[in-house]
Chain A
Protein backbone atom coordinates (compact mmCIF):
# COMPACT_ATOMS: atom_id res chain seq x y z
CA UNK A 1 0.00 0.00 0.00
CA UNK A 2 1.21 3.51 -0.87
CA UNK A 3 1.64 5.81 2.15
CA UNK A 4 -1.11 8.43 2.44
CA UNK A 5 1.31 11.39 2.50
CA UNK A 6 3.09 10.18 -0.64
CA UNK A 7 -0.19 9.39 -2.37
CA UNK A 8 -1.70 12.83 -1.65
CA UNK A 9 1.47 14.54 -2.88
CA UNK A 10 1.37 12.78 -6.25
CA UNK A 11 -2.39 13.25 -6.61
CA UNK A 12 -2.06 17.00 -6.07
CA UNK A 13 0.88 17.16 -8.46
CA UNK A 14 -1.17 15.32 -11.09
CA UNK A 15 -4.18 17.61 -10.83
CA UNK A 16 -2.04 20.76 -10.62
CA UNK A 17 -0.36 19.69 -13.83
CA UNK A 18 -3.69 19.04 -15.57
CA UNK A 19 -4.94 22.49 -14.59
CA UNK A 20 -1.68 24.20 -15.64
CA UNK A 21 -1.64 22.57 -19.10
CA UNK A 22 -5.31 23.42 -19.71
CA UNK A 23 -4.80 27.00 -18.48
CA UNK A 24 -1.74 27.48 -20.69
CA UNK A 25 -3.67 26.27 -23.71
CA UNK A 26 -6.55 28.63 -22.97
CA UNK A 27 -4.10 31.54 -22.60
CA UNK A 28 -2.45 30.58 -25.91
CA UNK A 29 -5.88 30.64 -27.62
CA UNK A 30 -6.63 34.12 -26.22
CA UNK A 31 -3.20 35.52 -27.18
CA UNK A 32 -3.38 34.13 -30.72
CA UNK A 33 -6.94 35.49 -31.11
CA UNK A 34 -5.84 38.98 -30.02
CA UNK A 35 -2.79 38.93 -32.29
CA UNK A 36 -4.85 37.86 -35.30
CA UNK A 37 -7.46 40.54 -34.59
CA UNK A 38 -4.67 43.14 -34.50
CA UNK A 39 -3.16 41.82 -37.75
CA UNK A 40 -6.59 41.91 -39.40
CA UNK A 41 -7.15 45.52 -38.33
CA UNK A 42 -3.72 46.60 -39.62
CA UNK A 43 -4.17 44.77 -42.94
CA UNK A 44 -7.58 46.38 -43.46
CA UNK A 45 -6.10 49.82 -42.76
CA UNK A 46 -3.31 49.19 -45.29
CA UNK A 47 -5.88 48.02 -47.84
CA UNK A 48 -7.99 51.14 -47.26
CA UNK A 49 -4.97 53.43 -47.71
CA UNK A 50 -3.83 51.71 -50.90
CA UNK A 51 -7.35 51.99 -52.36
Chain B
Protein backbone atom coordinates (compact mmCIF):
# COMPACT_ATOMS: atom_id res chain seq x y z
CA UNK B 1 0.00 0.00 0.00
CA UNK B 2 1.38 3.39 -1.01
CA UNK B 3 2.03 6.01 1.71
CA UNK B 4 -0.46 8.85 2.10
CA UNK B 5 -0.39 11.17 -0.94
CA UNK B 6 0.50 14.81 -0.29
CA UNK B 7 -3.04 15.92 -1.15
CA UNK B 8 -4.41 13.67 1.63
CA UNK B 9 -1.87 15.00 4.10
CA UNK B 10 -2.90 18.56 3.19
CA UNK B 11 -6.55 17.57 3.58
CA UNK B 12 -5.79 16.18 7.07
CA UNK B 13 -4.34 19.51 8.17
CA UNK B 14 -7.11 21.55 6.51
CA UNK B 15 -9.77 19.37 8.19
CA UNK B 16 -8.29 19.90 11.66
CA UNK B 17 -7.93 23.65 11.11
CA UNK B 18 -11.47 23.97 9.77
CA UNK B 19 -12.83 21.92 12.67
CA UNK B 20 -11.11 24.23 15.18
CA UNK B 21 -12.33 27.30 13.27
CA UNK B 22 -15.90 25.94 13.26
CA UNK B 23 -15.72 25.37 17.03
CA UNK B 24 -14.42 28.93 17.39
CA UNK B 25 -17.31 30.31 15.35
CA UNK B 26 -19.87 28.31 17.33
CA UNK B 27 -18.58 29.42 20.73
CA UNK B 28 -17.14 32.88 20.03
CA UNK B 29 -18.92 34.29 16.96
CA UNK B 30 -22.49 32.95 16.87
CA UNK B 31 -24.81 34.91 19.20
CA UNK B 32 -26.80 33.31 22.01
CA UNK B 33 -30.37 32.38 21.10
CA UNK B 34 -32.89 34.18 23.34
CA UNK B 35 -34.94 31.23 24.65
CA UNK B 36 -32.66 28.19 24.56
CA UNK B 37 -29.40 30.16 24.91
CA UNK B 38 -26.28 27.93 25.12
CA UNK B 39 -27.82 24.56 24.28
CA UNK B 40 -28.97 25.93 20.89
CA UNK B 41 -25.29 25.94 19.87
CA UNK B 42 -25.57 22.15 19.39
CA UNK B 43 -27.64 23.04 16.33
CA UNK B 44 -24.60 24.00 14.19
CA UNK B 45 -22.86 20.63 14.41
CA UNK B 46 -26.18 18.75 14.57
CA UNK B 47 -27.27 20.04 11.16
CA UNK B 48 -23.76 19.73 9.65
CA UNK B 49 -23.53 16.08 10.69
CA UNK B 50 -27.03 15.41 9.34
CA UNK B 51 -26.01 16.94 6.00
CA UNK B 52 -22.88 14.81 5.56
CA UNK B 53 -24.63 11.74 6.96
CA UNK B 54 -27.39 11.91 4.37
CA UNK B 55 -24.93 12.88 1.63
CA UNK B 56 -22.91 9.73 2.38
CA UNK B 57 -25.92 7.43 2.22
CA UNK B 58 -26.83 8.90 -1.17
CA UNK B 59 -23.18 8.59 -2.30
CA UNK B 60 -23.28 4.92 -1.26
CA UNK B 61 -26.38 4.35 -3.40
CA UNK B 62 -24.65 6.01 -6.38
CA UNK B 63 -21.57 3.80 -5.83
CA UNK B 64 -23.94 0.81 -5.66
CA UNK B 65 -25.43 1.70 -9.05
CA UNK B 66 -21.96 2.10 -10.57
CA UNK B 67 -20.98 -1.31 -9.15
CA UNK B 68 -24.06 -2.96 -10.65
CA UNK B 69 -23.18 -1.46 -14.04
CA UNK B 70 -19.41 -2.08 -14.03
CA UNK B 71 -18.96 -5.03 -11.61
CA UNK B 72 -15.75 -3.47 -10.35
CA UNK B 73 -14.89 -4.22 -6.70
CA UNK B 74 -13.49 -0.74 -6.15
CA UNK B 75 -17.05 0.64 -6.16
CA UNK B 76 -17.98 -1.79 -3.40
CA UNK B 77 -15.10 -0.34 -1.34
CA UNK B 78 -16.36 3.20 -2.06
CA UNK B 79 -19.91 2.22 -1.12
CA UNK B 80 -18.86 0.61 2.17
CA UNK B 81 -16.70 3.62 3.07
CA UNK B 82 -19.60 6.01 2.46
CA UNK B 83 -22.02 3.96 4.55
CA UNK B 84 -19.64 3.51 7.47
CA UNK B 85 -18.72 7.20 7.73
CA UNK B 86 -22.34 8.28 7.33
CA UNK B 87 -23.35 5.92 10.13
CA UNK B 88 -20.87 7.65 12.44
CA UNK B 89 -22.09 11.12 11.49
CA UNK B 90 -25.72 10.10 11.77
CA UNK B 91 -25.10 8.55 15.18
CA UNK B 92 -23.74 11.96 16.26
CA UNK B 93 -26.91 13.61 14.89
CA UNK B 94 -29.15 11.31 16.92
CA UNK B 95 -27.13 11.48 20.16
CA UNK B 96 -26.43 15.24 20.07
CA UNK B 97 -30.06 15.86 19.07
CA UNK B 98 -31.25 13.87 22.09
CA UNK B 99 -29.09 15.96 24.40
CA UNK B 100 -30.46 19.15 22.85
CA UNK B 101 -34.00 17.78 23.15
CA UNK B 102 -33.80 17.15 26.91
CA UNK B 103 -33.90 20.80 28.07
CA UNK B 104 -35.94 21.94 25.04
CA UNK B 105 -38.67 19.29 24.87
CA UNK B 106 -38.30 17.87 28.38
CA UNK B 107 -37.31 14.40 27.10
CA UNK B 108 -34.26 12.82 25.48
CA UNK B 109 -36.40 10.91 23.06
CA UNK B 110 -39.90 11.00 21.69
CA UNK B 111 -41.36 8.81 18.94
CA UNK B 112 -42.28 11.69 16.64
CA UNK B 113 -41.81 11.40 12.83
CA UNK B 114 -38.29 12.89 12.47
CA UNK B 115 -36.71 11.00 15.34
CA UNK B 116 -38.44 7.77 14.36
CA UNK B 117 -37.40 7.97 10.70
CA UNK B 118 -33.83 8.93 11.73
CA UNK B 119 -33.63 5.92 14.05
CA UNK B 120 -34.94 3.64 11.28
CA UNK B 121 -32.39 5.11 8.84
CA UNK B 122 -29.54 4.39 11.26
CA UNK B 123 -30.76 0.83 11.87
CA UNK B 124 -31.19 0.13 8.14
CA UNK B 125 -27.49 0.84 7.59
CA UNK B 126 -26.32 -0.94 10.76
CA UNK B 127 -28.14 -3.98 9.33
CA UNK B 128 -26.27 -3.40 6.05
CA UNK B 129 -22.91 -3.78 7.84
CA UNK B 130 -24.06 -6.86 9.75
CA UNK B 131 -25.54 -8.59 6.70
CA UNK B 132 -22.45 -7.88 4.58
CA UNK B 133 -20.28 -9.72 7.08
CA UNK B 134 -22.36 -12.86 6.59
CA UNK B 135 -21.42 -13.22 2.90
CA UNK B 136 -17.98 -14.69 2.13
CA UNK B 137 -17.95 -14.51 -1.66
CA UNK B 138 -16.75 -10.97 -2.58
CA UNK B 139 -18.85 -10.72 -5.76
CA UNK B 140 -22.04 -11.89 -4.10
CA UNK B 141 -21.37 -9.58 -1.15
CA UNK B 142 -20.81 -6.59 -3.43
CA UNK B 143 -23.94 -7.33 -5.50
CA UNK B 144 -26.09 -7.73 -2.38
CA UNK B 145 -24.64 -4.55 -0.86
CA UNK B 146 -25.23 -2.52 -4.01
CA UNK B 147 -28.90 -3.51 -4.16
CA UNK B 148 -29.27 -2.96 -0.40
CA UNK B 149 -27.87 0.59 -0.51
CA UNK B 150 -30.16 1.40 -3.42
CA UNK B 151 -33.23 0.26 -1.49
CA UNK B 152 -31.93 1.72 1.77
CA UNK B 153 -31.48 5.14 0.19
CA UNK B 154 -35.29 5.45 0.06
CA UNK B 155 -35.18 6.13 3.81
CA UNK B 156 -33.00 9.24 3.28
CA UNK B 157 -35.64 11.47 1.59
CA UNK B 158 -38.30 10.05 3.94
CA UNK B 159 -36.21 11.17 6.94
CA UNK B 160 -35.45 14.55 5.36
CA UNK B 161 -39.08 15.26 4.42
CA UNK B 162 -40.67 13.86 7.59
CA UNK B 163 -40.70 17.25 9.36
CA UNK B 164 -42.28 18.87 6.32
CA UNK B 165 -44.92 16.23 5.66
CA UNK B 166 -46.09 15.31 9.16
CA UNK B 167 -47.20 17.16 12.28
CA UNK B 168 -44.09 17.10 14.44
CA UNK B 169 -42.41 18.88 17.35
CA UNK B 170 -39.07 18.89 15.49
CA UNK B 171 -38.44 22.40 14.11
CA UNK B 172 -37.75 23.10 10.42
CA UNK B 173 -34.65 25.20 9.72
CA UNK B 174 -35.56 26.26 6.19
CA UNK B 175 -39.29 26.38 5.46
CA UNK B 176 -42.48 26.57 7.50
CA UNK B 177 -42.63 24.96 10.93
CA UNK B 178 -45.44 22.62 11.92
CA UNK B 179 -47.88 24.17 14.43
CA UNK B 180 -46.73 21.57 16.97
CA UNK B 181 -43.01 22.33 16.61
CA UNK B 182 -40.99 23.29 19.69
CA UNK B 183 -37.45 24.67 19.81
CA UNK B 184 -37.54 26.57 16.52
CA UNK B 185 -35.82 29.96 16.25
CA UNK B 186 -35.19 32.79 13.79
CA UNK B 187 -31.60 32.86 12.60
CA UNK B 188 -29.53 36.04 12.55
CA UNK B 189 -26.93 36.61 9.83
CA UNK B 190 -24.15 35.49 12.24
CA UNK B 191 -26.04 32.29 13.02
CA UNK B 192 -26.50 31.63 9.29
CA UNK B 193 -22.80 32.24 8.61
CA UNK B 194 -21.84 29.83 11.40
CA UNK B 195 -24.25 27.20 10.10
CA UNK B 196 -22.90 27.41 6.54
CA UNK B 197 -19.32 27.34 7.81
CA UNK B 198 -20.10 24.20 9.84
CA UNK B 199 -21.73 22.62 6.76
CA UNK B 200 -18.62 23.39 4.71
CA UNK B 201 -16.27 22.14 7.45
CA UNK B 202 -18.04 18.82 7.86
CA UNK B 203 -18.17 18.36 4.08
CA UNK B 204 -14.36 18.64 4.04
CA UNK B 205 -14.03 16.32 7.08
CA UNK B 206 -16.32 13.85 5.31
CA UNK B 207 -14.12 13.95 2.19
CA UNK B 208 -11.04 13.42 4.33
CA UNK B 209 -12.45 10.45 6.25
CA UNK B 210 -13.90 9.04 3.04
CA UNK B 211 -10.45 9.01 1.43
CA UNK B 212 -8.91 7.34 4.50
CA UNK B 213 -11.68 4.75 4.66
CA UNK B 214 -11.33 3.94 0.95
CA UNK B 215 -7.59 3.37 1.47
CA UNK B 216 -8.42 1.09 4.40
CA UNK B 217 -10.86 -0.81 2.19
CA UNK B 218 -8.22 -1.23 -0.52
CA UNK B 219 -5.80 -2.62 2.06
CA UNK B 220 -8.47 -5.00 3.38
CA UNK B 221 -9.13 -6.18 -0.18
CA UNK B 222 -5.41 -6.85 -0.68
CA UNK B 223 -5.31 -8.93 2.55
CA UNK B 224 -8.47 -10.82 1.58
CA UNK B 225 -7.00 -11.60 -1.84
CA UNK B 226 -3.80 -12.99 -0.29
CA UNK B 227 -5.81 -15.10 2.17
CA UNK B 228 -7.84 -16.56 -0.70
CA UNK B 229 -4.64 -17.37 -2.59
CA UNK B 230 -3.25 -19.10 0.51
CA UNK B 231 -6.38 -21.23 0.88
CA UNK B 232 -6.23 -22.25 -2.82
Instruction: Using CB atoms and an 8 Å cutoff, list the residues of chain A in contact with chain B.
Output: 1-2, 4, 6-8, 10-11, 13-15, 17-18, 21-22, 25, 29, 32-33, 36-37, 39-40, 43-44, 46-47
Contact = CB atoms under 8 A, between A and B. Distances in A.
Contacts, number: 89
B91 A10 contact: no
B92 A2 contact: no
Main secondary structure of the interface of A (DSSP, over half): helix
A36 B220 CA distance: 6
Nearest to B88: A25
A2 B103 contact: yes
Nearest to B215: A33
B219 interface: yes
Given A2-B103, A36-B220, 16 more contacts: A1-B34, A2-B104, A7-B39, A11-B38, A13-B99, A14-B39, A15-B41, A21-B91, A22-B92, A29-B216, A32-B220, A36-B216, A40-B223, A43-B223, A43-B226, A47-B229
Contact of A15 (B42, B91, B223): B42
Nearest to B34: A1
Interface in B175-232: 209, 212-213, 216, 219-220, 222-223, 226-227, 229-230
Nearest to A12: B38
Contact of B39 (A2, A39, A40, A47): A2
A37 B219 contact: yes
B212 A29 contact: yes
Given A33-B219, A46-B230, A47-B230, A14 B36 contact: no
A7 B37 contact: yes
Contacts of A6: 39, 103
28 contacts: A1-B34, A2-B35, A2-B103, A4-B38, A6-B103, A7-B39, A10-B99, A10-B100, A11-B42, A14-B39, A17-B92, A17-B99, A18-B45, A18-B92, A25-B88, A25-B209, A29-B209, A29-B212, A29-B216, A32-B216, A32-B220, A33-B216, A36-B216, A37-B1, A37-B219, A40-B1, A43-B223, A47-B230
